[in-house]
Structure 1
Amino acid sequence: MRAAWEDIQGSWRGFKQHWITYLALFLGLDLLNQWVIIPLFRWVTTVILQAGEIPFISYQNIVIICQQHPLVIIGLLVELLLLLMVVYWQFALLLLSIREFSVGRTGFYSLLQNSWQAVRRLRPGSLPLMLIYFILIIPFADLVFRTPLLAKVQIPAFIVDFMTRSDRLFIFFIATYLVILFLGIRWLFTLPLMVFRAQRTRTALVNSWRKTAHWQWISVISRLILVGLLATIGLGIVYGVIYGFQIGWDHLLPHSQALVPAVANLTLIQVVSEIVTVGSMISSLMIITQQDFGEIQYTTNGANSHHYGWALLVLVVIFGGATIANNHVYLQGEDDQRPITISHRGVADNNGVQNTIPALEKTHRLHPDYVEMDVHETRDHQFVVMHDENLKELTGVNKTPYQLTLKQLTRLTARENGHSAKVASFDQYLNAAEHLHQRLLVEVKTTPHDSPGMLKRFDQQYGQRLKRDHDQVHSLDYGVVAELKHRDSTLPVLYIQPYNLSYPNSQADGYSMEYSTLNFDFIRQAHRQHKQVYAWTVNQPSLMKQMIYDHTDGIITDNLRELNSAIDDYLSHQSYANRIMNFILVVPAGTRLEP
């Protein structure tokens, strides 16, 4: 334990000796990523898809794209390889900066040249291995190898949710995660070996495996965990003190005058967060690179380079000015907008059986703006209210909606959450919603067994009625969106996207996006096209507030009471301390400075 503590102290001393250069480097990379690299790659993806007249990529059309648009696939693969090289270049830049700064060599151009040489040593055959490697180290991205670019890579939450629905899937998910975690640990030294020793990817992977054999990785991982804990505890103390001071200012000063210390305190939180995040990451990288990399020294007495001080000053002006302006707007609530509340599958807090009329009636009492529900086509070409493609989980009948007539389906009883209710036809459900004056968000479910005229009948039977009731339609199948908009351009139809890959580009009137990959950039681009963005399925208060912070137009949730409470708390302007606490809970540390 004493040795671990000494290593951490030494790494922090190494950071403090060159904190100006490190901050300048990280803020510069952040600016480069936010303003150039990420927008550029999203734009390129959008252009490639537009060239092939492809509005989106999903599991539904990937096979068709591969078969009918080989040039699009080639373009996307080339883009992926270029992105991989950019990520590797940033890692090489960070690792080399530790070596160069530790021995007093702080020349930026030489650092760029050396990092470019590291990229040039990559061979085309190494890139697939590099892709696998970066996937494996994602669990370490927030602590060890985090860059603003890699931080954008996330596993969509709906995949995690799906994998935890049954015991078998959950066990498989945990086993897979443990295997990935184990491989990531064993290959932890791959990048340093490639950058410092100029080893090829395959050789570096083999040597990293040897270096972590016989449980030798435990000492490194324990130190990394300790660095993370110390950083978290330190930030918690700082946040608590600043929050306490703001409570005092809110009580001592009139509300208008308390704004000035509130802006200062929120800005201080952002600055401290950035410094601690950069410091903990540099400390972690130093701990990794000191393992058998003798050229790295952490006891240099050199001072910070003055030319990096000027660079940092320029970056602080750019980031600081924007951050202070944003903080003023945020604390005043000038940009706040109450999102549309949408009850997922017609239930709220397990108050009934999903997609049934009794649950709709109970949920309506909580006053959601919309009730989201699902429809399937039946064997006799009618529409039944049902989410799952198989009825077994809710009704105990191992059949699918397209195998039964509407009359057979509405005789079934669905059971869930200790409740029971009859399966409803869409006509019955729509009649109940109209009686309650409850607007609906209708998800049209599709299967390969649907009849050719399904969407034509849906539009003829319900299109005008839905518009009259101010209801909306959305679907995970883009074919539904395209055909319904072709048949009636005035019918509001949104496209459901399970992940965020490119800029919004479709015929849809808006998007229902899975929340974990939804970001402000996508929302801003959609708003420029006058299209709405809904987030699904958001069930935690902190995530609800994050969606409000990012200006999401609507939030789809299973916990409607929690959502209403989170909205009221976030939009409350009773104290600046409350706004500051919401910011701390909503925005992840290390991403709080806004250029």
Structure 2
Amino acid sequence: MRAIWRNLCQYSRNFWQHWVSFIILFVGMDLANQLIFIPLFRLTTTYVLQAGGIPFISYQNIGILITQHTLVVIGLLIELILLLLVIYWQFAFLLLGLRLILGGQISFKRLLKESWLAIQNIRPGSFPLLLLYFMLVLPFVDLVFRTPLLSKVQIPEFILDFMTRNSVLLTILIIFYIIITILGIRLILTLPLMIYRQYRTRQALRESWKLTSKLKWWQYIKQLIVLGLITVIILALFYLLIYGLQSLVDLFPGKLAFMAAIFNLTLVQVVSELLTIWTGMIALQIVIGLVDDFPASKGRLRRVGWLGWSTLGVMVVVLGGLAIANNYYYLKGTGMTRPVTISHRGVAEKNGVQNTIPAMEKTHRLKPTYVEMDVHETKDHKFVVLHDENLKKLTGVDKTPHELTLTQLTKLTARENGHQAKIASLDQYLNAAEKLHQKLLIEVKTTPQDSKGMLKRFNQQYGKRIIKDHDLVHSLDYRAVAGLKQLNPKLKVLYIQPYNFSYPKSIADGYSMEYSTLNFEFIRQAQRQKNDVYSWTVNDPRVMKQMMYDHVNGIITDNLGGLNSAIADFMNSKSYANRILNFYFSSS
């Protein structure tokens, strides 16, 4: 333990000797990502898709893309190669910057030159290996090689949630993560070897595996664990201190509490960013210490010149001014609107069987803006309220809706969460909702077995009724979205997106977006086009507050009571201390 502490202290001294240079390096890279690279790649993806007349990418149209839109696929593959090059360049920029700073030899011109040389050493045949490598280290990347660009790549939460609900899939998921974690740890030195020693990709992979053999990797894992614990403790104590001070100041009348809140919230942001940079730089030193002998160990120290201080000053003025302005409007509550609340599948806190009338009636007491529910086409071309494509999970009957008539389906009893209720037809469900004056968000489920006239019949039977009741429709199938809008332009139809690849651009009236890849930029772009954005399925109060901070229009949840509480706390809190705490939860 003493050796770990001694190493961490040395790495920390290295950081504080060159803290100005490290801040410029890290913050400069972050700004380049947020202002240049991320928007540029999103715009490129959007342009390539629009040029091919494709509004989206999903599992539904992958086959069509490959077989009918060759140029689009080529364009996306070129973009993927460019993305890999940019990510690799960013790693090279950070790693080379780290070595140059610690060696007292940092200059922007030299750093650009050396990082460009690192890019030139990549062979075309290395791209598949690099892609595989980044996929392997992805679960480990936040601990060591954290970059805002790579952190945008993640597995959507709904996939993880689906896999954790089945014991077999959960076991597979656990084994998968164990394997990926081991491979990520064993191969973590690949990039440093490529960048510092100019190894080829295959050679670097083999050498990384060799250097981390016989549990040699455990020496840096222990240091990273201790570093993580220290960071969490420091951050927790700092937040408690700020929260306590602001709670005391909130007792004073006048504008003192508000001015103190702006100062404290800005201080929270500054300290959090500084701590993130400190942690990241120490983590890099821990890992790279197995590959490179830092020049800083020889005691070389170079003072920051006027250019460095000027750059830091500009960053402080610009970013500090933006932070203060943003904090002013946030603490004043300017621009904050209450999101609409949407009960997922008509249940709340497991109060009934999903998509059934008794559950909807109980959920209505919590006053959701909308109750979200699902409809399938039946064997006799009618519509039943049901989510799954197979009835076995809820009713024990191993049949699909297309194999049974509506009469047969509505005789079945569904059981879930200790409750039971009859399967409902869409007419029955609409009748019950109208009696309660409860608005609905109707998801149109589609399958290959649907009849050709399914959308036309749905619109003929329910289009006017849905508009009259101020209900909404959404679908995961973009063909259904486009088809319904063509049949009935007055019908408000949203497109359900499981992943955020590009900027919003479609015929839809809005979007239901899986929350883990939803961001403020997508929401802002959609709202500029006068389209609403609803996030799903958000059950964690922390994520709910994050979505509200990003100005989402609505939140779909299984935890409606928790959502109502989160909204009340976030929107109506008169305590500035609590608003600072909400900011922490919404931005972490």
In the alignment, the residues of structure 2 paired with residue 20 and residue 14 of structure 1 have an alpha-carbon distance, to the nearest angstrom, of: 12
Give per-residue Cα distances to partners, 1:393-423, cap 9 Å, x unaligned. 0000000000100000000000000000000
Equivalent positions of 1:361-376 (< 5 A) are 361-376=361-376
Q: Which residue of 2 aligns with 1:220?
A: 220
Name the SS of the counterpart of 1:3 in structure 2. helix
In the alignment, the residues of structure 1 paired with residue 136 and residue 351 of structure 2 have an alpha-carbon distance, to the nearest angstrom, of: 40
Are the aligned partners of 2:192 and 2:291 in contact in 1 as well (CA < 8 Å)?
A: no
Equivalent positions of 1:319-358 (< 5 A) are 319-358=319-358
Q: Which residue of 2 aligns with 1:544?
A: 544
In the alignment, the residues of structure 2 paired with residue 376 and residue 546 of structure 1 have an alpha-carbon distance, to the nearest angstrom, of: 33
Equivalenced residue count is 587
Give per-residue Cα distances to partners, 1:22-73, cap 9 Å, x unaligned. 1111111111111111111100000000010000000010111000001100
In the alignment, the residues of structure 2 paired with residue 302 and residue 92 of structure 1 have an alpha-carbon distance, to the nearest angstrom, of: 22
Name the SS of the counterpart of 1:420 in structure 2. strand
Are the aligned partners of 2:103 and 2:300 in contact in 1 as well (CA < 8 Å)?
A: no
Q: Which residue of 1 aligns with 2:450?
A: 450
In the alignment, the residues of structure 2 paired with residue 187 and residue 75 of structure 1 have an alpha-carbon distance, to the nearest angstrom, of: 30
Are the aligned partners of 1:10 and 1:299 in contact in 2 as well (CA < 8 Å)?
A: no
Q: Which residue of 1 aligns with 2:289?
A: 290
Q: Give the drift of 1:573.
A: 3.4
Q: Which residue of 2 aligns with 1:511?
A: 511
In the alignment, the residues of structure 1 paired with residue 308 and residue 27 of structure 2 have an alpha-carbon distance, to the nearest angstrom, of: 12
In the alignment, the residues of structure 1 paired with residue 296 and residue 67 of structure 2 have an alpha-carbon distance, to the nearest angstrom, of: 54
In the alignment, the residues of structure 2 paired with residue 304 and residue 153 of structure 1 have an alpha-carbon distance, to the nearest angstrom, of: 38
In the alignment, the residues of structure 2 paired with residue 299 and residue 318 of structure 1 have an alpha-carbon distance, to the nearest angstrom, of: 36
Tell me whether 376-385 or 4-13 shows the greater mean CA deviation. 4-13
Tell me whether 297-306 or 426-435 shows the greater mean CA deviation. 297-306
One-letter identity of the residue aligned with 1:7: N
Q: Give the drift of 1:298.
A: 3.8
Q: Which residue of 2 aligns with 1:271?
A: 270
In the alignment, the residues of structure 2 paired with residue 299 and residue 370 of structure 1 have an alpha-carbon distance, to the nearest angstrom, of: 65
Tell me whether 137-146 or 330-339 shows the greater mean CA deviation. 137-146
In the alignment, the residues of structure 1 paired with residue 375 and residue 285 of structure 2 have an alpha-carbon distance, to the nearest angstrom, of: 55
In the alignment, the residues of structure 1 paired with residue 295 and residue 176 of structure 2 have an alpha-carbon distance, to the nearest angstrom, of: 35
Are the aligned partners of 1:19 and 1:304 in contact in 2 as well (CA < 8 Å)?
A: no
TM-score of the two chains, using structure 2 as the length reference: 0.99
One-letter identity of the residue aligned with 2:563: L
In the alignment, the residues of structure 2 paired with residue 574 and residue 468 of structure 1 have an alpha-carbon distance, to the nearest angstrom, of: 38
In the alignment, the residues of structure 2 paired with residue 259 and residue 543 of structure 1 have an alpha-carbon distance, to the nearest angstrom, of: 26
Are the aligned partners of 2:193 and 2:291 in contact in 1 as well (CA < 8 Å)?
A: no
Q: Which residue of 2 aligns with 1:591?
A: none
Tell me whether 69-78 or 25-34 shows the greater mean CA deviation. 25-34
One-letter identity of the residue aligned with 1:273: S
Q: Which residue of 2 aligns with 1:25?
A: 25
Name the SS of the counterpart of 2:292 in structure 1. coil
Equivalent positions of 1:348-427 (< 5 A) are 348-427=348-427
In the alignment, the residues of structure 1 paired with residue 294 and residue 584 of structure 2 have an alpha-carbon distance, to the nearest angstrom, of: 39
Give per-residue Cα distances to partners, 1:295-347, cap 9 Å, x unaligned. 54345351442222211111112211111000001111112110000000000
Equivalent positions of 1:100-119 (< 5 A) are 100-119=100-119
Are the aligned partners of 1:376 and 1:445 in contact in 2 as well (CA < 8 Å)?
A: yes
Are the aligned partners of 2:472 and 2:491 in contact in 1 as well (CA < 8 Å)?
A: yes
In the alignment, the residues of structure 1 paired with residue 44 and residue 65 of structure 2 have an alpha-carbon distance, to the nearest angstrom, of: 17
Q: Which residue of 2 aligns with 1:486?
A: 486
Q: Which residue of 1 aligns with 2:129?
A: 129
Q: Which residue of 1 aligns with 2:186?
A: 186
One-letter identity of the residue aligned with 2:368: P
Are the aligned partners of 2:189 and 2:291 in contact in 1 as well (CA < 8 Å)?
A: no
In the alignment, the residues of structure 2 paired with residue 292 and residue 325 of structure 1 have an alpha-carbon distance, to the nearest angstrom, of: 44
One-letter identity of the residue aligned with 2:519: N
Q: Which residue of 2 aligns with 1:176?
A: 176
Higher relative contact order (CA 8 A, sep 6+): 1
Are the aligned partners of 1:13 and 1:299 in contact in 2 as well (CA < 8 Å)?
A: no
Q: Give the drift of 1:291.
A: 1.1
In the alignment, the residues of structure 2 paired with residue 217 and residue 70 of structure 1 have an alpha-carbon distance, to the nearest angstrom, of: 44
Sort the Cα spacing of 1:541 and 1:299 in 2 relative to 1 into closer, same or farther, 3 A: farther
Name the SS of the counterpart of 1:512 in structure 2. strand
In the alignment, the residues of structure 1 paired with residue 299 and residue 247 of structure 2 have an alpha-carbon distance, to the nearest angstrom, of: 43
In the alignment, the residues of structure 1 paired with residue 385 and residue 130 of structure 2 have an alpha-carbon distance, to the nearest angstrom, of: 46
Q: Which runs of 5+ in 2 are unaligned?
A: none
Q: Which residue of 1 aligns with 2:279?
A: 280
Q: Which residue of 1 aligns with 2:151?
A: 151
Name the SS of the counterpart of 2:56 in structure 1. coil
Sort the Cα spacing of 1:301 and 1:572 in 2 relative to 1 into closer, same or farther, 3 A: farther
One-letter identity of the residue aligned with 1:177: Y
Give per-residue Cα distances to partners, 1:105-151, cap 9 Å, x unaligned. 02111011101110111111111111111111112222210011112
Q: Which runs of 5+ in 1 are unaligned?
A: 589-595
In the alignment, the residues of structure 1 paired with residue 493 and residue 110 of structure 2 have an alpha-carbon distance, to the nearest angstrom, of: 54
Q: Which residue of 2 aligns with 1:230?
A: 230
One-letter identity of the residue aligned with 2:77: L
Equivalent positions of 1:89-104 (< 5 A) are 89-104=89-104
